[in-house]
């Protein structure tokens, strides 16, 4: 089965939570692991879109440069790991936006992905290229990304 950027990240989060950071994990010598911790926390919101946007890219095309897993282990504390937020709230949510500011009436277009890209990005929308919509039957709810778009 295919290990992807997303499965590697999940594994790292779960392993870290289980205090297994001192163990040698099977993929530690794999260059692809360098992308496990992804971009800094301030880009977490764009990361969730990037994760989906990269659905059509192979892992070899990923241009992210992250610290190696080994470097991150020594100071890693799940309490401080903003990456956890990537898989938390829906991508739309940022620090300044609260639930009170959401108004369903402001969602203008019925056919717009509510928590998707800004409207201007939809002008040239082509379903052929939107990896986020090609979802597994019984896959995750939309706001959690796309079961078929894991680092593909």
Site string for other proteins, 74-103 (x = CB under 8 A): ----xx----xx-xxxx--x-----x--x-
Choices 18-26, 38-46, 57-65, 66-74; region in contact with other proteins by CB under 8 A: 18-26
- Per-residue buried b or exposed e for 109-127, using 16+ beta carbons within 10 Å of the residue's own CB: eeeebeebbeeeeeeebee
Least CB distance from residue 141 to other proteins, whole Å?
Answer: 5
13 binds other proteins (CB under 8 A): yes
Closest approach of other proteins to the CB of residue 144, in Å: 4
Both tokens assigned to 120: 């201007």
Number of neighbouring beta carbons within 10 Å of residue 47 = 20
Per rule CB under 8 A, count of chain residues that contact other proteins: 63
Separation between Cα atoms, residue 92 and residue 22, nearest integer Å: 35
Binding site for other proteins (CB under 8 A): 1-4, 6-8, 10-11, 13-15, 17-20, 25-27, 55, 78-79, 84-85, 87-90, 93, 99, 102, 104, 107, 109-114, 116, 122, 125, 127, 130-131, 133-145, 147-150, 152
């Amino acid at each position: 089965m295919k290990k992807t950027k997303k499965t590697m990240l999940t594994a790292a989060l779960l392993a870290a939570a289980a205090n297994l950071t001192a163990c040698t994990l099977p993929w530690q010598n794999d260059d692809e692991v360098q992308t496990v911790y992804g971009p800094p926390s301030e880009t977490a919101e764009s990361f969730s879109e990037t994760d989906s946007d990269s659905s059509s890219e192979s892992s070899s095309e990923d241009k992210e440069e992250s610290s190696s897993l080994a470097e991150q282990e020594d100071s890693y504390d799940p309490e401080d790991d903003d990456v956890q937020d990537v898989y938390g709230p829906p991508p739309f949510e940022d620090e300044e936006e609260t639930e009170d500011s959401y108004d369903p009436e402001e969602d203008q277009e019925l056919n717009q992905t509510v928590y998707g890209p800004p409207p201007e990005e939809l002008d040239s929308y082509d379903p052929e290229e939107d990896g986020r919509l090609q979802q597994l039957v019984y896959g995750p709810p939309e706001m959690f990304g796309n079961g078929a778009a894991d680092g593909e």
